Chains A and B, each alone.
Chain A
Amino acid sequence: MSDLMKRFTGWDAAILAVLVLFVIVAGLVVPDFATGRNASFMVLDLAPVLLIALPMTLIIVTGEIDLSVASTLGLSSAVMGALWDGGMSIEVIIPICLVLGAVLGAVNGLFITGFGLPSLAVTIGTLALYRGLAFVVLGDRAVAQFPGSYTEWVIGSSAGIPNLVWPLLVLLLVFGTVLHATPLGRSLFTMGAGVDAARFSGIRVARTKFWLYVVCGAVAALAGVLWTLRYSSARADNGTGLELAVVAAVLLGGVSIFGGRGTLWGVLGGVMLLAAVQNALRLADVSNEALQVVTGLLLIVSVLAPNAVGAIRSAVARRRRRPPPPAPAAPPEPLPVSSDPSPSPAVRSS
């Protein structure tokens, strides 16, 4: 248990505290914030971000990044719409979309681990490519009228708890367990903090990263399916810009952009905080545009804050450690007594 306590100190705890504080204040100040109906909406809003944040956390922990997730979501949505329009049954379409997402992720993984290209550049490329393909597939059309049983389940709830909570919870537990309690999770942290040390410990760095991208693609595609069902509308531009919210939430959750550090519980806090802030601002009639500013600022603050804290801490430590300034032309101090038994022949030439 003490182990668990330790895990919740530091950034994670700070984020959770801020989250709780924010929810309390917003509940008091913003009308309609603290209602069950609003909570359900919030779950629907944060679902795609949380979903994609799960594999994204693992990827960032290894020191890489995937900016193409929102485009993968869009392409998955577009393909879903095109196939539905073509008369295919939804039970076939959904698996096809998930496989497609895995393939898109595999393309990222191949460029990054196979050809050794930087993940940032590759996924900026696929960000454009996948979104472009989404438009190629569906153009600027929207496909609607997905089967009611599916769309209603996605937005529905039972016993006051939104249906989506359950699959999200299961995935959260799966990813959390993998990251924090399995050999695989340990090796992700290791390769993020030191690639060489990881390789020399027998960790298969390239292969692991490749599969992370595959999983990330599949999960982003799943998010695309849910997005389409929630709004009952398949469009090529679905989820545009969502990668920002995902990366912001992950970094806000205390995951280091340089890899090697972070927890999934912190990321959960980051996602919820982001969702709560956006939701409260929206209820308070703040425009969508202002929300963009807030999201962007949160992203910048979340990467600046740990560095600033570290800089302040080390500055304080340095001040404490700094020895008194050397007296000019001080006489040579007598040599400290050596622990070394042998005579030390201090022959100085002159």
Chain B
Amino acid sequence: MSTPTSSRVAVALRARELGIVLALVALVVVTAVVNPLFLSGQSLRDLVLAAAILVVMAAGQTVVVITRNIDLSVGSVLGLSAYAVGSLLEAAPGTPVVVAVLVGIVIGGALGLVNGALVRFGNVPALVVTLGTLYVFRGVAFLWAGGQQINADELPGGFLAFGTATVLGVPWLIVIAAVVVIVTGYVLRNHRSGRELYAMGSDPAAARLAGIPVGRRTLAAFAVSGACAGLAGVLFAARFGTVDAAAGTGYELNVVAAVVVGGVAVFGGSGTAYGAAIGALLLTTIGSALPVLGIDQFWQQAIVGALILLAIGTDRAVAARVAARLRKESSRV
């Protein structure tokens, strides 16, 4: 009896990501039928470029959500990191791009550690902590910028080129996003620490009983999410060339939506970085497809909200059905 159950369950789980892929394909096809230009190289390239930043953040958020936490501060972390890196490059135009990227990652990681420390040592729900730091980090960015805006002509050309440069014909942004997703997905799937994150989200009390260092892993998860948001800040600066303190405002909603739509359970314990990346791609595609389809751009946010509700509702329904089936097929001697 063993194989049929396992394969069917595996199918049920994989179907979750497959469903998103199908939705994505359907959307692209419909849009392309309405306007074939949607499938042109330039258009697709813009689409994936636009998705890259969201994909990076979604990968980081996945790590946190899997542990049954949430990080709402990512948009503000992006803003702070983008402005910091912008200021650095403005002051020292000779800074190599690699250093700029690392600075963004370190700043984001540090802010993430602040979140993690508050959650771990304060014994406070992540929701409240990161809702608070969402505003604190954003406020700090505003105070620092003081209404200043860093424009493209103030940034070194080498850095701006990085926003459009390609390697083997693929834009750097896309390469970076792909690497982040693959590394995150790989560690989550294949490393002890990754598996322990799933265990923590699946049953926090049991994780403690099993001797998993829950506190350390929580800190690490938030640090990763922060670092990803910090990296996203650098990508943001490179891509748009213009940075002010408001960069990334409201991104947290899109990130959470991408993760949830991509099949990462809000109750923790399941989901993959790949799914979250596909979710991010789907959300971005919706944004690009709306004008092509002649739908008012203002629908974008409403659709994001509806997708969140749809995703968590579907997941709950599917989970209930799978659980019922598993119970029925549970081995009886």
Contacts and interface: CB of A to CB of B under 8 A. Distances in A.
A and B touch in the complex (CB under 8 A): yes
B189 interface: no
Nearest to B265: A121
A90 B312 CA distance: 38
Kindly name the residue among B124, B245, B300 whose own CB sees the greatest number of chain A CB atoms within 10 A.
B124
B216 interface: no
A295 B142 CA distance: 14
B129 A300 contact: yes
Nearest to B302: A132
Interface stretch (B9-17, B52-60, B252-260): B252-260
B318 interface: no
Contacts of A111: 309, 313
A16 interface: no
Nearest to B133: A296
Given A130-B305, A296-B134, A303 B128 contact: yes
B139 A303 contact: no
B143 A300 contact: no
Contacts of B245: 289
Contacts of A135: 298, 301-302
Interface in A73-128: 111, 115-118, 120-122, 124-128
B118 A118 contact: no
Interface in B115-139: 118, 122-125, 127-129, 131-136, 138-139
A129 B128 contact: no
B304 interface: yes
Contact of B298 (A118, A139, A248, A294): A139
A126 B301 contact: no
Contacts of B125: 257, 303
Interface residues of B, number: 42
B122 A303 contact: yes
Kindly name the residue among A122, A130, A136, A244 whose own CB sees the greatest number of chain B CB atoms within 10 A.
A136
B118 A304 contact: yes
Interface string A239-262: 001001001100100000100000
B143 A122 contact: no
A17 to B, nearest CB: 23
A290 interface: yes
Contacts of B92: none
**Secondary structure type dominating chain A contacts:** helix
Contact of A136 (B131, B302, B308): B302
A291 to B, nearest CB: 7
B240 interface: no
A131 B301 contact: yes
A106 B173 CA distance: 43
A297 interface: yes
A293 interface: yes
A339 interface: no
B8 interface: no
Given A116-B316, A127-B305, A132 B122 contact: no
B296 A125 contact: no
A204 to B, nearest CB: 22
B298 A115 contact: no
A118 B308 CA distance: 12
Interface in B285-330: 296, 298-306, 308-309, 312-313, 316
Contact of B305 (A126, A248, A291, A295): A126
A299 interface: yes
Contacts of B266: 118, 120-121
B135 A117 contact: no
B131 A299 contact: yes
Contact of A128 (B127, B142, B257): B257
A132 B313 contact: no
A65 to B, nearest CB: 8
B292 to A, nearest CB: 18
Given A129-B306, A304-B124, A307-B123, A293 B140 contact: yes
A291 B143 CA distance: 10
A140 B300 CA distance: 14
Interface in A253-303: 257, 287-297, 299-300, 303
A289 B279 CA distance: 32
Given A120-B127, A136-B302, A307-B122, A125 B135 contact: no
B312 A121 contact: yes
B253 A124 contact: yes
A133 interface: yes
Interface of B: 70, 118, 122-125, 127-129, 131-136, 138-140, 142-143, 245, 253, 256-257, 260, 266-267, 296, 298-306, 308-309, 312-313, 316
20 contacts: A118-B266, A120-B266, A121-B308, A125-B257, A127-B253, A128-B301, A129-B302, A129-B305, A129-B306, A132-B298, A132-B305, A133-B302, A236-B298, A251-B128, A289-B138, A295-B135, A296-B139, A300-B128, A303-B125, A307-B122
Given A117-B313, A122-B309, A290-B142, 7 more contacts: A111-B309, A111-B313, A120-B70, A121-B312, A129-B304, A287-B142, A304-B124
7 A-B pairs closest in CB distance:
A129-B305, A132-B302, A289-B142, A132-B301, A128-B305, A293-B139, A296-B135
